[in-house]
Amino acid sequence: MVEAKHDVLIVGAGCAGMRAAIEAHDAGADVALLSKIHPVRSHSGAAEGGINAALGNASEDSPAEHAYDTVKGSDYLGDQDAIEILCNEAPGDVYQLEHWGAVFSRTDDGRIAQRPFGAAGAPRTAYAADITGHVLVHVLYEQVMKREIPTYEEFFAWKLVMNDDRCQGVIAWDLLNGGLKSIGAKTVILTTGGAGRLYVGTTNAYACTGDGMALALRVGVPLKDMEMMQFHPTTLSPTGVLITEGTRGEGAYLLNSEGERFLKRYAPNAMELASRDVISRAEQTEIDEGRGINGNVILDLRHLGAEKILERLHGTRELSMTFAGVDPIYEPIPVRPGAHYHMGGVDTDVWGLTEVEGLYAAGECACVSVHGANRLGGNALMETITYGKRVGRHAADWALSNTTVEVPPSVEADAERELKELLDRREGERPWSIRDELAESMHENFGVFRREEQMRKQGEIVTGLRERYESVVVEDKGNVFNNDLTQALELGFLLDLAACMVPCGIERKESRGAHARPYDYPDRDDEHYLKHTLVSWADGEPRVDWKPVTMTNWKPQERTY
Amino acid sequence: MHSELAPAPGSTTIDVALKIWRYDAETGEKELKRYEVEAPDWVTLLDVLDIIKDKHDGTLAYRKSCRMMICGSCGMRMDGAAVLACKTRMYDIAKSGHVPVISSMGNMPVIKDLVVDMDPFWGKIRRMKPWLDPGYEEPLEKERIVSQQQMNVIHKEALCIMCGCCVSECNSMESDPDFFGPAALAKGMRFVGDVRDQADVARLNDYNDEHGIWDCTRCYFCNERCPKGVDPRDAIAKLGAESIKEGIDHDMGAKHAQWFVTSAKTTGWLRETELVPKTQGVVEAIKQTRFALSLVKHGKVPPPFPPHVADRVGEARKLYHLVKEQGRDGALGIVQGEHALGRIEFSEQAGVKTTETETT
């Protein structure tokens, strides 16, 4: 039964999804949001440090400088046309957020405050203390409420509806009431965020299971640069909870067990404000060489003083105290690298359109590519807003040009049959140990540093886990809030993505950005690998292809900080 | 580096027992079930629920997402008081041998186990018209110029994560399910207090309606239980003060509050006998004649003439003028509950380090 039909249906309701919904609504389209969690629960809200735009409020700045820093930060794997669009549109998009009511921190003269962030040539990161993502999620949801945009809350998107070579809707499991529901749409936008749950140590929420990437992959859309998983340098152990880069933006030090600011040996100029990939590798090297403390290095805020910590980093203090038992006013915080952000994702053009007509993606779920091999702090929130806006506008315009919608009954019947098979299975393994083994092995074998033999071993592990998953059992057979079922489906998504990431990592025989192979290919190899990996699913296994990087103004140079 | 409250992560395990109120929506059955698990010593309540769901009972239902106190999914009750499961460290509780009872939040219908229906909650949020009314359609070319000091007015309200813990504990809502409630009213204050919002008078009128700000009983449970230091009761007090400042007093609650001021200013003490007619009007007051006579009989009513004036009425009047002079007759005059950060600093939550510097 088709529940409803819309011009634009957006799967995922974080910053990118809500920004797209607002834009599509304002363009005159009938738009709906669909999300497995309530919009304000989205993981965009956990972004802390800020959002990058060349407002020039703290010093001279320009979109061109923002673009250069982003290109360099991407280790030249970012598409420069996409980056220029982002940096040019960013200031206007941030002003728009302010006019909607975003509670930004302010400069002494009442403008939006901006702080220095890693690998940025100017203090460019606009912020709301250290809860910037929270503030943006709420201001966007306020605008969604104002427009009365319908939201399918707690609907778990499980299948994309393909018909006539177009994506024409979504089949979703209704968590509150049970049952599969089909929602037809002229265009579908995937804004489901990242897949950090592939790793045991991650800043990502439980919800970050790469749903949109896997949905796209399963209807034949290639994923781009999937080997590029960013490890954030400052996550709390053991939980992986994020400590913002804003701490270093405000002047915090990273120290090893000898009390040394070890970055002087890795990034003597930028020190703690070097790029994230550089710092994560430095930390991991210190830990591996025995200069860590219980597998951590330490982040020292004490010299910033109580006043600054209380005013600008109160959320950080709250997190440190709750999850590490450490008050950063008096004690340093133990931190280590943790999986944080997927630069890779659904391959799209600069309007968020995929290879499949009617199917779009934006935000972390997509790979436009703005971030290339390494994302700069503060650019993710900006991408959700600017590309959320662009994808919403394009999808609305396309949908409003008289396209019809049909969800073929056979598609629904297939989904029902597949689900019944899963729910009827009573003998076998429950998903959690597969999930845990996947996350632990990815961390071990496909983490900050990568070795050929470990990656190959990981490929075998993933294959084995996928076989076990074939006979997985869902214990809850009920209809009401059956997240035992949806968590099993999420694991299926994660396994598909892991299977795609590993061969991309093996094929990229160089070190670039987040993909570091110090033991066999320690250098960047522009001659052979200045190109995107493109992975698609063919004959039951991943197939890796390549796609050129779009260059406009900037030639690759050696990247030092 | 680690205090006793938060031992070094992963070094040991602890045995944790919970009793969970299970609720099956399809049969309507309720059952208090006991679970015992072995867990790493750093676990939170949410981690324990995860272990139970993975290894013991896949049908257990609860919401979760960020596990870092920002998404607001995992509000529930522990021993009858609302908590965020992800913020609640279990070490001390488990070590003490106590077996806490976990149940769904209050004032919201239960869907299954620890999952509640939040539609009524969101309906009340929407009732506040919770979006900025800037007073113009087309955005300006740049940002508006607003000082940090002006933005600080709504600092605490902007911290709200909509978890529902305050609503769960709200005594007014328990007796009047239509009461707007602490979360919605704090959201209202987020806009009334925002210097950029042009609809504050309309909002205040609206929030003064039946079931609005004056129906709060001031039990302070919302302040007590908010996991983010939003202090919703303070927000409600600020809305009340702003209403009176704007001359919005159509609710009895406002009249009641005003009489305290008038009474203190004129005679330096609270003339309770006049409180009822001043608050509820003469007609209502007549209805309470029998009660009034009973008060007289028991010597509770001083003779009205000559009116008693407190010896130091001058002090009361001085205070009144000081408040006016300093412009503290609106939200600025509300004495805050402890600052959000202070609350975090002195939280008694297991696993949270407390410090000696409470006066700084």
pLDDT in single tens digits along all 561 residues of chain A: 788 999 999 999 999 999 999 999 999 999 999 999 999 999 999 999 999 999 999 999 999 999 999 999 999 999 999 999 999 999 999 999 999 999 999 999 999 999 999 999 999 999 999 999 999 999 999 999 999 999 999 999 999 999 999 999 999 999 999 999 999 999 999 999 999 999 999 999 999 999 999 999 999 999 999 999 999 999 998 889 999 999 999 999 999 999 999 999 999 999 999 999 999 999 999 999 999 999 999 999 999 999 999 989 998 999 999 999 999 999 999 999 999 999 999 999 999 999 999 999 999 999 999 999 999 999 999 999 999 999 999 999 999 998 899 999 999 999 999 999 999 999 999 999 999 999 999 999 999 999 999 999 999 999 999 999 999 999 999 999 999 999 999 999 999 999 999 999 999 999 999 999 999 999 999 999 999 999 999 999 999 999 999 999 999 999 999
Count of Cβ atoms closer than 10 Å to residue B177 Cβ: 12
CA A68 to chain centre: 22
Of B132, B162, B352, the CB nearest to A100: B132
Residue B297 to residue B42: CA distance in whole angstroms: 63
By CB atoms closer than 10 A (0-12, 13-18, 19+), residue A438 is buried
CA dist A504 → A354, A533, B93, B197 (Å): 20, 6, 47, 51
Question: How many residue contacts between A and B have a Cβ separation below 8 Å?
Answer: 195
Run of H or E including A33: strand A31-35
Residue A431 to residue B52: CA distance in whole angstroms: 14
User: CB distance from B97 to chain A under 8 Å?
Assistant: no
- Residues of A involved in catalysis: 276
By CB atoms closer than 10 A (0-12, 13-18, 19+), residue A259 is exposed
The reply to whether the predicted model has a pTM over 0.90 is yes
Task: Check residue B336 and give its pLDDT.
Answer: 60
Residue B22 to residue B53: CA distance in whole angstroms: 13
Beta-carbon contacts of residue B152 (< 8 Å; ≥ 6 apart): none
Largest interatomic CA distance in chain B = 77
Q: Which of A252-256, A483-487, B73-77, B272-276 has the lowest mean pLDDT?
A: B272-276
Count of Cβ atoms closer than 10 Å to residue B25 Cβ: 20
Residue B159 to residue B182: CA distance in whole angstroms: 14
Instruction: Please report the residues numbered 341 through 360 in chain B whose beta carbons come closer than 8 angstroms to any beta carbon of chain A.
Output: 341, 344-345, 349, 351-353, 355, 360
Task: Check residue B335 and give its pLDDT.
Answer: 64
Do residue B58 and residue A306 have CB atoms under 8 angstroms apart?
no
Polymer length in residues for chain A: 561
Q: Is B291 helix (H, G, I), strand (E, B) or coil?
A: helix
Residue of B nearest to A324 (CA): B6
Residue A243 to residue A261: CA distance in whole angstroms: 18
Question: Phi-psi region for residue B231, left (φ > 0), alpha (ψ -120 to 50) or beta?
Answer: left
Sign of CA dihedral B251, B252, B256, B258: positive
Residue A86 to residue A67: CA distance in whole angstroms: 8
What's the gap in Å between the CA of A279 and the closest CA on chain B? 23
Of B2, B59, B191, the CB nearest to A325: B2
Do residue A322 and residue B25 have CB atoms under 8 angstroms apart?
no
User: CB distance from B45 to chain A under 8 Å?
Assistant: no
Sign of CA dihedral B306, B308, B313, B317: negative
B69 DSSP assignment: S
pLDDT in tens, B185-230: 999 999 999 999 999 999 999 999 999 999 999 999 999 999 999 9
pLDDT in tens, A272-281: 999 999 999 9
Torsions phi, psi for A230 (to 5 deg):
-80, 135
Do residue A319 and residue B68 have CB atoms under 8 angstroms apart?
yes
Rg from Cα positions in chain A: 22
Closest CA to A68 of A525, A376, A345: A376
What's the gap in Å between the CA of A491 and the closest CA on chain B? 13
Residue B81 to residue B221: CA distance in whole angstroms: 9
Residue A343 to residue A345: CA distance in whole angstroms: 7
CA dist B160 → A259, A350, B316 (Å): 38, 35, 36
Query: Is pLDDT above 80 for B360?
Result: no
